[in-house]
Amino acid sequence: MKTGILIAMALVGCCPAFAEGTNDALLNTPDLIARSLVSAGNTARLQHVLAKARRGEPVTVAVIGGSITQGAKATKPENRYGNLIAAWWRQTFPAAKIGFVNAGIGATGSNYGALRARRDLLAQRPDCVIVEYAVNDGNVEASAQAMEGLLRQVLSQPNAPAVLMLFMVNRSGGSAQEWHAKVGRHYALPLISYRDVVWPEIQAKRLTWEQLSPDEVHPNDLGHARAAQFVTACIAQTLATLPSDSHLPAIGALPAPLFTDLFEHTDLFEAGALKPTLNQGWNFDTTNKCWKSTVPGSVIEFQVSGRQIYFMYYRVKQAMGQANVQLDDARPSCAKRGSTRPGAATGCPT
């Protein structure tokens, strides 16, 4: 396989503690909090996790998503929505040891999330996972397919973790909520929408985007606090009617895929683990951990197998080269400066 600048390849209630200085009254009404709950889903998994915490056993809370989850624009780590959700668990169950995993990586979608889930998320054996990719993913079926694979990986874990989906929104109202929710409903997951609260208020001019975000996408401390509040309100609703351990509901079997199981079975190879079968003019950059070439006409090949292959490349703010990518004996396609998202296709002429 001939590549460009290649760095990796893969086959495919209670309220949280609010950030300091936030406006506690903004969007903090029972009606709006209730509007954030798109669907309560089947709460059997969540009930078992809550019961575990009630017994004082260790519980690990995890979040996975893009830069919002990573914490962009929060003034400090404890003001990120994921940290606030973990804080709610600690405040609600002081006798339990609550671990927290932040598996957010900026400028990535659920396709890359599915590729790295085992390494960055599942290796920590989370008990409760919040998934957030509604802004980074396109509102198309392809995003739903990738999301389904990520969800199936989590839901098939032996410890039966609870999974909640969080739908954020960008400045123009864009969100993959429509297609993500199709998958979420298929697996009867709790679905929480920041978008369904924020966007109607902005359209009605009762709220401005700038009150919740300093840019086009990322929430400020108040936005993070509200996202966390909507999630914890859903969890608290389940906790309020939690039965005794002897009456906890059974956890049902994982249903057949709605779209595909393609992204359920993945491998991720970082650039350092990729050993070229042919190398003419490429070097491994130990600083950026990528394969790099400055020689026109250079060629590098790797041997991998799978039904679908993604590759990632760096895009930096300087002059960049152009590469033709060829898979097996197919016609080469061109990859040059384009999307920063893993596996992005550019469709430029050769």
CATH number, domain with residue 234: 3.40.50.1110
Looking at residues 215-243, what average pLDDT do you find? Answer: 98
**Distance between CA atoms of residues 321 and 292, nearest Å:** 10
Q: What is the pLDDT of residues 70-109, one digit of tens each?
A: 999 999 999 999 999 999 999 999 999 999 999 999 999 9
Residues 204 and 227 in one domain: yes
Last residue of a domain, one of 179, 214, 247: 247
Taking alpha carbons only, the member of 267, 130, 143, 105 closest to residue 189 is: 130
Compute the mean pLDDT over every residue in the chain, rounded to the nearest whole number. 90
Residue 112 lies in a domain: yes
Grade residue 22 by pLDDT with cuts at 50, 70 and 90.
low
Residues 209 and 321 in one domain: no
How many C-beta neighbours within 10 Å does residue 100 have?
18
In this prediction, residue 19 carries a pLDDT of: 52
In the chain, how many domains are there? 2
Q: What is the pLDDT of residues 144-201, one digit of tens each?
A: 999 999 999 999 999 999 999 999 999 999 999 999 999 999 999 999 999 999 999 9
Residues 285 and 141 in one domain: no
Residues 44 and 115 in one domain: yes
**Distance between CA atoms of residues 339 and 347, nearest Å:** 11
Last residue of a domain, one of 247, 271, 287: 247
Residue 186 lies in a domain: yes
Grade residue 3 by pLDDT with cuts at 50, 70 and 90.
very low
What is residue 143's DSSP assignment?
Answer: H
Residues 148 and 274 in one domain: no
Taking alpha carbons only, the member of 22, 39, 20, 13 closest to residue 226 is: 22
Residues 104 and 205 in one domain: yes
Treating both helix axes as pointing N-terminal to C-terminal, what angle do 177-186 and 141-155 enclose, rounded to 10 degrees? Answer: 40
Residue 87 lies in a domain: yes
Residue 102 lies in a domain: yes
Last residue of a domain, one of 247, 281, 304: 247
Range of the domain at 317: 262-335
Answer yes or no: is pLDDT of 205 > 70: yes
**Cα 80-75-211 angle, rounded to 5 deg:** 85
In this prediction, residue 16 carries a pLDDT of: 52
**Distance between CA atoms of residues 88 and 64, nearest Å:** 18
Grade residue 315 by pLDDT with cuts at 50, 70 and 90.
confident
Grade residue 335 by pLDDT with cuts at 50, 70 and 90.
low
Q: Of residues 162 and 311, which shows the higher confidence score?
A: 162
- The H-assigned helical ranges of the chain are 30-35, 44-54, 67-70, 81-92, 110-120, 141-155, 177-186, 194-203, 221-240
Residue 146 lies in a domain: yes
In this prediction, residue 338 carries a pLDDT of: 39
Residues 163 and 272 in one domain: no
Answer yes or no: is pLDDT of 133 > 50: yes
Grade residue 318 by pLDDT with cuts at 50, 70 and 90.
confident
